[in-house]
Structure 1
Amino acid sequence: MAPTQTFLFLAFLAITSSLCFASDPSPLQDFCVADNTSNVFVNGFVCKNPAMVTANDFFLSGLNKPGDTSSPPGSKVTPANVAQIPGLNTLGVSLARIDFAPGGLNPPHTHPRATEILVVLKGTLYVGFVTSNPDNKLFSKVLNEGDVFVFPQGLIHFQFNHGPSNAVAFVGFGSQNPGTITIANAVFGSKPPISDNVLAKAFQVSKEIVDKLQAQFWPDN
């Protein structure tokens, strides 16, 4: 192989390797507490002056309290990510509590930046995720107290309480800020709206049905 070709091949290999291992930024110091007052925009958050860091930057209380499940989906996600715990910045982990009323649903959604692991603390949940094209295979399971289920990064997934009583789950994420894209909200509640011609063709339904769906209130969970 010619020297130029060898160099280009090695450069390509280095770039693709770095992409394969892309994740939340790794810390190069003991901590980098997020400075939420900074006007500087970086991939994550600017570090707070270490001299100003306190134990409260690594602390959050209240996850023992049930969330309000009176919303239309009948569920409530209470996050504990870098927005609530500044000390999570660059550490690549976060968690959340999810409360479900009977019949409550955490609607189909994705986390673009994190794999999710869920443990059921109370009640029974029907959960699942769907693989990417072209298979779109559903992996689903009924979970009881103490059961654990994993949702791979970026795949559409859901949790549904089909039991007669409230349910509670805790989830962990492999990101300080996993992000959430709720499918129905994104498709039918975008601002400005996606053209009803586009959605009617995509879902093979009439524009009247699309218009009705776009007129719904799509609450964030």
Structure 2
Amino acid sequence: MFLLVFFILISHSSANSVFEFCVAELSQPRGPSGLVVRDNAKNLSSSISILHNVETSQFPGLNGMGISMAQQHLMVGGVVPIHTHRVCEVFHVHEGTILTGFIDTNNKAYYKTLNKGEIMIMPPTLMHFLVNVGSTPVLAFSTFASENRGTQVVNNAFYGGNLPSDLVEKITLLDPSLVHKFKKLFGGTN
């Protein structure tokens, strides 16, 4: 019953965000759950990933409850790039087919193709990913063991911020031309 209530709440939420934050588009009118989210996601794979979040910012009653959820729509070929959360994630495929997995601290990859109705658990802090490998869009739900799951996208961490390029080259062992290309692609500086 508890999950059913959250699935209903998610389906009525219009608060879109890419991962853990949402920059308001101030030029757009205010909707039922706040301002429209600015589309600042890079469409690197020619596919679309949309997240509808149920977090304390949209539902203040969640404060202190230790849970949050996200509804995810991935078009055919859609990708959620490798990322981490500070807490456990239970991932459920409602419609479609998805390849998902995580990499443990021994660099062993655990991945599986999930179909409608199947579930996978992502351990806290481990890098994980999603790819729509089916012929139809995916609708999936994630439940997190915190009202603030914290999300860090690996590529954004290295190439989207202000980490100096020479340092990125050293810690990633990549050629300077690739680091420059990735910094430009992800909007990083330096």
TM-score range, shorter chain: 0.7 to 0.9
Residues 99-138 of structure 1 correspond to what in structure 2 (within 5 A)?
99-112=73-86, 114-132=87-105, 135-138=106-109
Distance 1:64 1:166, change over 3 A: farther
In angstroms, what is the RMSD of aligned CA positions? 2.3
Give the count of matched residue pairs. 154
- 1:197 paired to 2:152: no
Matches within 5 A, 1:53-64: 60=9, 62-63=11-12
The separation in 2 between residues aligned to 1:91 and 1:145, in whole angstroms, is 28
* CA distance in structure 2 between the partners assigned to 1:203 and 1:61 by the alignment: 38
Where does residue 137 of structure 2 map in the other structure? Answer: 166
Partner of 1:23: none
Matched, 1:180 2:151: yes
TM-score normalized with structure 2 length? 0.74
Gaps of 5+ in 2: 1-7, 19-38
Higher strand share: 2
* Offset of residue 217 of structure 1: 3.7
Cα separation, partners in 2 of 1:211 and 1:136, compared to 1, 3 Å: same
Matches within 5 A, 1:2-17: none
CA distance in 2, matches of 1:68, 1:214: 22
In structure 1, what is the equivalent of residue 180 of structure 2? 211
Deviations 1:75-109 (A, max 9, x none): 11111011111000111011110100110001111
In the TM superposition, residue 124 of structure 1 has moved relative to its aligned partner by: 0.2
The residue identity in structure 2 corresponding to 1:180 is T
